[in-house]
């Protein structure tokens, strides 16, 4: 067993021992496992791994390549948070596909490549093919969160291609599943916020502001509850755009854009910073009271 993989993943996800052990085992049990290699019961080990998003294949690797490949996907998913789509596609191309990858690894790979293609202005057919790998082959029963991500991604791909009506069926299905999502670890929280944000953005573009604002409010709640700052910039930015479209108070709108800019700087999201700067420049042409 490669306990270092377990420890590195816990630290990378910023879990203390007490936070990871909560509701599963005592901190002392977890400490003995990490420090002395004393393995807890199989049931406890499974729950700890599940909270970290680790599979037993990763904890008992056949070779070092498994953990190396997982680290690449971790890097790619961090690029997604900051909307660095060319970097995502480059690293995924270098990683490549392997027939020995687990089903969960493959679903994560196709989810990330599909999003990078769709959001980066890539070929619609390629994006749809990646999401179909999840929905039709790897999770045909649609039991995992990756299917929800694939539905949202398919909606994004159609919407980006200017086919909003075809996107609607997918976003409607996602909207019904959003509040049933569970939050086991930081990666799951980020993925849930991804689904919430892009669904809210779709309804905003359709001028269904009540639905969009309700989803954005839910996104705020998730961020506050789990102390997550990623997606706060985009959520706040989109809410400000909704207010602007509905002729809201200009001072309130300016304040929201500035809050969004602060979150974007904190998270290093340069794309959102540029979008906000353009909006604020446009608002400066309006008189203030």
Q: pLDDT per residue over 188-202, tens digit each?
A: 899 999 999 999 999
pLDDT reported for residue 87: 98
pLDDT reported for residue 63: 45
pLDDT reported for residue 266: 92
pLDDT digits (tens, 9 = 90+) for 216-255: 999 999 999 999 998 999 999 999 999 999 999 999 999 9
pLDDT reported for residue 195: 96
Domain formed by 69-180, architecture: Alpha Horseshoe (1.25)
pLDDT reported for residue 289: 52
Matching CATH topology for 1-61 and 69-180? no
Domain boundaries, the chain: 1-61, 69-180, 181-289
Instruction: For CA atoms 17, 186, 51, 36, give the dihedral sign.
Output: negative
pLDDT reported for residue 250: 94
Q: How far apart are CA 142 and CA 149, in angstroms?
A: 11
Low-confidence ranges of the chain (pLDDT < 70): 1, 57-58, 60-66, 184, 286-289
pLDDT reported for residue 10: 86
The CATH number that domain 181-289 falls under is: 1.25.40
244 SS3 class:
helix
Q: How far apart are CA 201 and CA 235, in angstroms?
A: 9
Give the predicted TM-score (pTM) of the model.
Answer: 0.76
Give the fold, CATH level 3, of 1-61: 434 Repressor (Amino-terminal Domain) (1.10.260)
């Amino acid at each position: 067993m490669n306990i270092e993989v377990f420890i590195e993943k816990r630290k990378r996800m910023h879990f203390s021992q007490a936070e990871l052990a909560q509701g599963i085992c005592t901190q002392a049990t977890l400490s003995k496992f990490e420090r002395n290699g004393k393995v807890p019961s199989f049931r406890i080990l499974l729950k700890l791994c599940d909270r970290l998003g680790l599979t037993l294949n990763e904890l008992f690797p056949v070779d070092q390549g498994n953990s190396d490949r997982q680290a690449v996907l971790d890097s790619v998913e961090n690029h997604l948070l900051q909307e660095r789509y060319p970097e995502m596609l480059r690293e995924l191309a270098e990683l490549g596909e392997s027939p020995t990858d687990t089903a969960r690894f493959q679903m994560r790979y196709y989810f990330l490549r599909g999003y990078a293609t769709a959001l980066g202005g890539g070929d619609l057919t390629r994006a749809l093919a990646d999401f179909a790998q999840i929905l039709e082959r790897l999770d045909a029963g649609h039991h995992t969160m990756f299917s929800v991500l694939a539905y949202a991604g398919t909606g994004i791909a159609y919407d980006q291609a200017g086919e909003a009506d075809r996107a609607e069926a997918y976003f409607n299905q996602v909207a019904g599943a959003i509040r049933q999502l569970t939050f086991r670890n930081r990666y799951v929280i980020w993925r849930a916020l991804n689904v919430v944000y892009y669904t809210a953005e779709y309804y905003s573009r359709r001028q269904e502001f009540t639905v969009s604002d309700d989803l954005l409010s839910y996104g705020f709640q998730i961020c506050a509850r789990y102390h997550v700052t990623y997606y706060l910039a985009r959520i706040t930015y989109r809410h400000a755009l909704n207010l602007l479209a509905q002729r809201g108070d200009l001072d309130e709108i300016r304040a929201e854009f500035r809050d969004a800019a602060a979150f974007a700087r904190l998270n290093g999201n340069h794309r959102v910073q540029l979008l906000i700067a353009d909006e604020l420049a446009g608002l400066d042409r309006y008189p203030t009271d």
